[in-house]
Structure 1
Amino acid sequence: MADDQEGQSKSGETADADETPWLADDQFYRALASTRRRRLLSFVIEHSDSTVDELATVLAGWETTETGAMATVGDHDRIALELVHSHLPLLEDLGLVEYDADTGVVRAEDVDAAVEDLITRSIEAEQPSQS
């Protein structure tokens, strides 16, 4: 009988953990700590399908608006390389994006509304206040 109760308790805990597993996942918070990853997520949530090339262009442009410098081909290529080898695999492992390495297509997974709101608010907070 104790085994039955223990089994029920474990399955109950699993069900609760499945609802919002990202809340207890340090990797999730590390992923969102990156401005580039938050921007990437914001873009792919807003635009259903993107490519690595398109994302690199958007992110390079986003960064140049902050610095006032022109984005170079080297900037674009460096960002694309970071996307492929670092940012996209991490976000895919967390279930936030789906990345097809063969086609270069990136799309948002079914992102929890709370996560989407957090990303949106963090992007809005980056904008200088209009005084």
Structure 2
Amino acid sequence: MKSIDDIFSLFGSERRRFALYYLKHANGSVSIDELAEEIYTWEESESNEEIPSDEFRRVILTLEHNHLPKIEGATHVEYDRTNDRLRITGLSAEADVLLSVTEAMEQPSRADDFVLGRLGKP
């Protein structure tokens, strides 16, 4: 098990948590662009507007230089830099539980019924 400090550090950034939520539910690998678009949409309260190119680039840069290296070092995430694709290959049981709980708190529409029930949410 990773130390509890490592796990909480991993979840200490909203953008990193959003990346983990998306990777956890993805079927296979996803592109950096796809991940950045989804994160931007979540951060902007699911806005349907087109993403301004400067904002899109900013999300990609923070992912590539800050969040993805931290995720990659703390979890089983494969990051193919040649093709700009990533996929999650596993989380520790502790990290998986915490990820499910934080997702249910931040994005209840995506959470599973078991976690919502445990949190007392309908």
TM-score (norm 1): 0.72
Structure number, greater radius of gyration: 1
Aligned to 2:114: none
Give runs of aligned pairs for residues 1-131 of structure 1, distance below 5 A.
Answer: 20=1, 22=2, 24=3, 26-47=5-26, 48-65=28-45, 70=49, 71-127=51-107
Structure 2 unaligned regions, length at least 5 = 109-120
* Percent identical: 29
Supply the distance in 2 between the matched residues of 1:96 and 1:75 (Cα, whole angstroms). Answer: 28
When residues 25 and 96 of structure 1 are mapped into structure 2, their CA distance, relative to the original with a 3 A threshold, is: farther
Q: Which amino acid is the alignment partner of residue 121 of structure 1?
A: V
The answer to whether the Cα contact below 8 Å between 2:79 and 2:87 also exists between their aligned partners in 1 is: yes
Structure 1 unaligned regions, length at least 5 = 1-19
Q: Give me the CA root mean square deviation.
A: 2.4
The CA deviation at 1:28 is 3.1
The answer to whether the Cα contact below 8 Å between 2:76 and 2:88 also exists between their aligned partners in 1 is: yes
The CA deviation at 1:96 is 3.4
Structure 2 counterpart SS, 1:102: coil
Deviates more, 1:25-34 or 1:53-62: 25-34
Poorly superposed stretches of 4+, deviation over 6 Å: none
TM-score (norm 2): 0.76
Which one has a larger percent helix, Structure 1 or Structure 2? 1
